[in-house]
Chains A and B, each alone.
Chain A
């Protein structure tokens, strides 16, 4: 499937702060993609540029083949978006919030949106400000899904949710993906969630994609070497992502296919987990900055 979100040398500045610097991204369609990275890495900015909430300083974004700046409304008819903190009008009731979706969208599936709320036993006449955080998140998601979008962009969709609400929301998302085959791109700081629901991961560090790929590919393409402290010998065809040296031992994350046999008995070589891959890239980037 072709890329649903593609950027070319995308740069976005806010005054003197650079949120994205010359970023090239191509996120695949038909999958759930997790954008991970430290706070301030540019995840939110990337999603905002993708729905036309901002204009690039330079470079280009294309979403579903459309420009978010030039074809904003045509694009918005096909893209669902839930912003960070899941903004909703506090004074509107749940029913009125759905009415907002119905009135402001060309494509809207009222029965579908309402059925979701019934499933979560959210009373339609309750004002938004009286809902629990979990219910609030479900209403925000319903509003985005009621559009029946081809692409769903979620900025920290489970932040501040308790574990039960978080799981409910993620499962709901997964079933929507399975049923409707929609593409989802979400940002998250919680690697466990990303691992649970995403098939594809892009690691954003300091305004740029550091590495991206399907999770199993990333795990297969990296391995961890654990051994006594000493200079790590260069392995042909492999790139050292990160080396951490403690008093007596060295742990290295290496990019490349795992070698068939270990060189000597003093080192342990094993496939990397997603967490190790992500943390390895994040930490090495942090060290470069320092």
Chain B
């Protein structure tokens, strides 16, 4: 049965694996080129001329021009799981059901469960293999966007969808979802397009949950310092950003002095009020944060620190794995129970 599945789908499966390898190799080459070019041009070692940093900006522009649209190669890593889902998963059962060949194979000496489980097992394994190739370089593909290379350079969260358990999860989930819809609706096109749609919607839905996998770290916003009165306050209020550069800012909220949440409407109303009132005299008068603080409302920035990255990856991978198992089970049930 493994032989038959590989034989039936050899073209599309070979395309998936080869496509993943080609994309991975292309990514390595282009990222390497980007990194070398950046060093050659000296973009990062650029010292701004007095009064302006235009010279450095132009160097960076030059670097961007040389790389061109290859900068967006990371988008391919977002598209591949969807394409694989549609082309591999959609027709997997639907083609047999549409052409009636399931009546041929299911009347050989083979049980329905073995048939369906083998088909799914083979294509999921191939999708996983392609995902494994992609995850090796998926994170690096994002470096061309940020212009920072190497392990220490970039913010890890930007690469979340492009690598690791999350990417592997997308690969298998997409195939399982489209296969299920194809098996259920018995139509190739339905499997391909509705499968794609479901994949996209679930990705969006789970994406909404992602910031909440763990309670975000909250940090209160501090009033900015009016330039005119900079000197006296420098010692009191830190100017450095309180959120680490490699963190993922997931949103804002507001609390009162006792730490109780303040509804967003109240914050909006206060800011409107502040806007109408305009700047008044005094060192902190022109700052909305200070204005809110004076009224016992403290806005907070919420973020996920970088050290949670792989834990979040594992959680997201587990979510998609669970969804995949659910869909595989449903597909097997449909194939086993339904009239053929």
Binding site for B on A (CB under 8 A): 14, 48, 51-55, 72-73, 76-77, 79, 81, 83-85, 87-92, 96, 99-101, 103-107, 143, 147
Contacts and interface: CB of A to CB of B under 8 A. Distances in A.
Contact of A51 (B1, B3, B107): B107
Contacts of B1: 103-104
A104 B340 contact: no
A13 to B, nearest CB: 10
30 contacts: A52-B107, A53-B103, A53-B107, A53-B340, A54-B339, A54-B340, A55-B339, A72-B112, A73-B111, A76-B108, A76-B110, A79-B107, A81-B103, A81-B107, A83-B100, A84-B100, A85-B100, A87-B101, A88-B104, A89-B8, A92-B7, A92-B8, A96-B7, A100-B105, A100-B108, A103-B4, A104-B105, A104-B109, A143-B104, A147-B109
A231 B261 CA distance: 97
Name which of B4, B99, B109, B111 has the most chain A CB atoms within 10 A of its CB.
B109
B106 interface: yes
Contact of B109 (A77, A84, A85, A89): A77
B103 A87 contact: yes
Given A54-B339, A55-B339, A88 B101 contact: yes
Contacts of A76: 107-110
Interface size, B (range): 20 to 34
Interface string B88-115: 0000000000011101111111111000
Given A91-B8, A92-B7, A105 B107 contact: no
A14 B339 CA distance: 9
Contact of B339 (A53, A81, A89): A53
Nearest to A85: B100
Interface in B1-34: 1, 3-4, 7-8
Contacts of B101: 87-89
A55 B112 CA distance: 13
6 shortest A-B CB distances, which residue pairs? A104-B108, A54-B339, A83-B103, A81-B107, A87-B100, A53-B340
Contacts of A90: 99
A85 to B, nearest CB: 6
Contacts of A91: 8
Contacts of B103: 48, 53, 81, 83, 87
B4 to A, nearest CB: 6
Contacts of A106: 109
A87 B99 contact: yes
A53 B106 contact: yes
Nearest to B8: A89
Nearest to B11: A91
B296 to A, nearest CB: 66
A54 B108 CA distance: 15
Nearest to A100: B4
A81 B108 CA distance: 8
Contact of B110 (A14, A73, A85, A143): A73
A72 B4 CA distance: 21
B183 to A, nearest CB: 15
A105 B7 contact: no
A14 B100 CA distance: 17
Contacts of A92: 7-8
Nearest to B99: A87
A143 B7 CA distance: 18
A72 B100 CA distance: 19
